[in-house]
Structure 1
Amino acid sequence: MKTSALKYFRWISYLEGTSFLFLLCIAMPLKYIGDRPEAVSVTGGIHGLLFSLYLIGIVIMAILFRWKALRIVGAVIAAFLPLGPFVFERRLKAGA
């Protein structure tokens, strides 16, 4: 159970981080420079779903692995930083 939860969380972390970077680096410029607002509408919806799954994953991981409050806060803050989920996932993998 713990191994599959960790694998799920790592995948969601990667997908959420990727969708955030795609939103910031591709969809937003397309909206404001290329006058294509639909890029943000589609990407934003996908990112919103992945962000929600990431937060649910944090709750599951915190319960299963008995994370301390500082790690939980770090995971949530990582979701709001462009490369945060990648850094957090890497630290989690390293056992920090």
Structure 2
Amino acid sequence: MPMETYRLELRETETNGIDADVYADDVIEESTRVDYEAHDIEPPESRDEEPAYSEEVTADVTTLDLQYQRDDGGFEFRLLGDRDELTRIRIDDEEWNLN
């Protein structure tokens, strides 16, 4: 496999959650969705703009796996390639004003 650049995008959705998508050449390769309600979390009633975060990584992998975990203070998203961690992004509740 040749080296490929992957873009992990996290963004809050209008339906009270976080969409996490991994893109390669603008095509979604992996995706997951976090529902705030499932974690007893509420976003603020209004925002000027929905929070988002994006990070790119280049790797030579055959499989991708996008995982997330919840702890007391936020979410941690991990992108694995051939079972090795390619990148890790943490979204703190405080940073995104989640209650």
The answer to whether the superposition gives a TM-score over 0.5 is: no
TM-score when normalising by structure 1: 0.27
Give the structure-2-normalised TM-score. 0.27
Q: Which has the higher relative contact order, 1 or 2, with Cα contacts under 8 A spaced 6 or more apart?
A: 1
Structure with bigger strand share is 2
Q: Whose helix proportion is higher, 1 or 2?
A: 1
